[in-house]
Amino acid sequence: IAGITQAPTSQILAAGRRMTLRCTQDMRHNAMYWYRQDLGLGLRLIHYSNTAGTTGKGEVPDGYSVSRANTDDFPLTLASAVPSQTSVYFCASSGQGDTGELFFGEGSRLTVL
Amino acid sequence: GQNIDQPTEMTATEGAIVQINCTYQTSGFNGLFWYQQHAGEAPTFLSYNVLDGLEEKGRFSSFLSRSKGYSYLLLKELQMKDSASYLCAVRDSNYQLIWGAGTKLIIKP
C-alpha cells in the first residue's frame, strides 16, 4: 500500500536520551517534512527536504536534526530529549501535482519524562 | 508576522450545514488548503483554492477571496463521521505552509 510509514507510533523517553523517529515513503515524492503538533497550536514545521541530499530548517528546528540520504527515507533525530519535545510528530511528503498537497504519516506520539 | 485565524470549536446538528471560516495574513499567497483530521489520526487533504471563488467537491465546498484574505469550508448534509478538526493552511511566497490551529467540529444527533 503506497503511502508514508512512521515508526515508532508511540514512545516514552527519559530526558537526555537520544531518539530517532523513522519516516519512509514509497510515492517517490521529492519533498518531505517533519511537523510537530501540540494542543491549541497549528502544525509547526521542524525541518524539511526539497530533494534527496538537501535539508532545511523550519519554524522550530532547535534540538532536532534530519538527514535525507535517499528519496524514500527522512529520519528525525532528537540528540538529547527534553520534556518540551513531548508532542505528536508527523512526517509528510508532497509531489509535483497540481496542488502539491501533503500526504501525512500516521504520527509518532513522543513523551519525554 | 504571518497568521491564520479560525474558530477553535464549532457545534452543528446532523443533517445540517456548517461554515468554517479562515482568515489569513501571510507574506505572499500561493494557495490555500483545507485538511480534515480525526482525533488521533493524521490530517488528510480536503480541498485547494488558488483562485477566487468556490470549489465544490461532493458535500464539501471551499471558497476563497484573496483580496479579503478569507476562506471558508462549507459542509453540507452533516454526518456524525464529519466530527473532526478542520485545518486551514496557506502556502506563502516561499512555498512554505502556514497552518491555523484548527477548528474542532462537533456534530450532535
Residues A41-62 pLDDT 10s? 889 999 999 999 999 999 999 9
What whole-number distance in Å separates Cα of residue A86 and Cα of residue A111?
5
pLDDT exceeds 70 at position A98: no
Give B-chain residues touching A100 at CB under 8 angstroms.
Answer: 31, 91
C-alpha closest to that of A33 among B61, B81, B91 = B91
Q: pLDDT grade, residue B79 (50/70/90)?
A: very high
**A40–chain B nearest CA distance, Å:** 6
CB distance A106–B41 less than 8 Å?
yes
Option in B4, B42, B99 nearest A105 (CB): B42
* Contact in structure between B95 and B51 (CB atoms under 8 Å): no
In sequence order, what are the beta bridge partners of B54?
A: B63
pLDDT tens for each residue of A62-84: 999 999 999 999 999 999 999 99
Please check whether residue B77 touches A, CB under 8 A: no
| Summary mean pLDDT of chain A | 94
pLDDT of A100: 82
Q: CA-CA distance, A46 to A5, in Å (whole number)? A: 18
- Tell me which residues of chain A have a C-beta less than 8 Å from any C-beta of chain B: 40-45, 58, 90, 98-107
Distance CA B86, CA B45 (A): 10
pLDDT per residue as tens digits for the range B4-34: 999 999 999 999 999 999 999 999 999 999 9
> What's the pLDDT at B8?
96
Q: Check CB contact of B69 with chain A, cutoff 8 Å.
A: no
B70 touches chain A (CB under 8 A): no
pLDDT over threshold 70, residue B75: yes
State residue B94's pLDDT score. 85
Chain B residues within 8 A of A45 when measuring between CB atoms: 96-97
pLDDT in tens, B45-74: 999 999 999 999 999 999 999 999 999 999
Q: Tell me how close the Cα of A88 comes to any Cα of chain B, in angstroms.
A: 9
- Considering chain B, what percentage of its residues have pLDDT values greater than 90? 94
What pLDDT, on the 0 to 100 scale, is given for residue A40?
A: 84
The pLDDT of residue A95: 83
Cell output for A2:
503506497
Residue among A42, A98, A106 whose CB faces B99 most closely: A42
Q: What is the pLDDT of residue B96?
A: 87
Helix/strand/coil percentages in chain A, nearest 5 = 5, 45, 50
**Residue B6 near residue B21, CB atoms below 8 Å:** yes
Q: Give me the torsion for CA of B10, B14, B17, B23, rounded to 10°.
A: 20
Q: Determine the pLDDT at residue A1.
A: 60
Q: Greater confidence, A95 or A9?
A: A9
Of A45, A98, A104, the CB nearest to B43: A104
Q: How far apart are CA A36 and CA A45, in angstroms?
A: 7
Mean local confidence (pLDDT), A104-108? 97
Please list, in sequence order, all residues whose beta carbon lies within 8 angstroms of the beta carbon of residue B66, skipping any fewer than 6 positions away.
B29, B52
Q: How far apart are CA A67 and CA A73, in angstroms?
A: 8
Q: Is the pLDDT of residue A2 over 80?
A: no
